[in-house]
Amino acid sequence: MLPARYGYIAIEGPIGVGKTTLARRLAQRCGAQLLLEQPQDNPFLERFYRDRKRYALPTQLFFLFQRVQQLAELRQPDLFHGPVIADFLLDKDALFARLTLADDELRLYEQILAQVAPQAQTPDLVLYLQAPPEVLIERVQRRGVPMENAIGTAYLRQLADSYLRFFHDYDGAPVLVINTEALNPADRDEDLDLLISRIERLRGCREYFNLAP
């Protein structure tokens, strides 16, 4: 079981790093409830991967409202009992917005975000998963999601760099930074055991978990 002080854990990182798989495995191992992104429900996402400039704003706004609604449900005790593990962090939405939106679109998005974000609950712990861009590329290709075929190497590199910058300044919750190049708790049981043990020993607001390749 995870420490009781971590009743709500958010898992974050760039596309292909293993957020959702880890969320599922960690929740199953620890008896937690899952709160997962629903990208398949976003009608703009496939078009965004083909034409990011044209479809960035509707894609971004759909995800924003979807995530705010999901997080608002955390406050309803009849829906959630006990610990919750999510595969997204609302705060990182602005990361994608700055990466994909034109200046006027970004201003509109930020105005909307300022209105809806206060409804969202803050996690007790964030697990930030890292991996080099070439590892992300290999994992995206391996999982074979058709709409992701249009994701380019340059975009994944840009996204990984944006995550690094975002979490360098993030102080909204305690963060455990996990290098998944050699340590892969999303796929290996022994690595999941190591991660759970590491979470149990957390004491600071920002710590790092890394195994040498």
**Whole-angstrom distance, CA of residue 170 vs CA of residue 37:** 21
Query: Sign of the CA dihedral 112, 118, 119, 123?
Result: positive
Helix (H) or strand (E) holding 98: helix 93-100
Contact between 185 and 129 under an 8 Å Cβ cutoff? The reply is no
Residue where the block lists tokens 């075929």: 149
Burial of 197 from C-beta contacts in 10 A (0-12 / 13-18 / 19+): exposed
**Whole-angstrom distance, CA of residue 9 vs CA of residue 212:** 26
Helices 153-169 and 93-100 pack at an angle, to 10 degrees, of 130
Residues carrying an active site annotation: 87
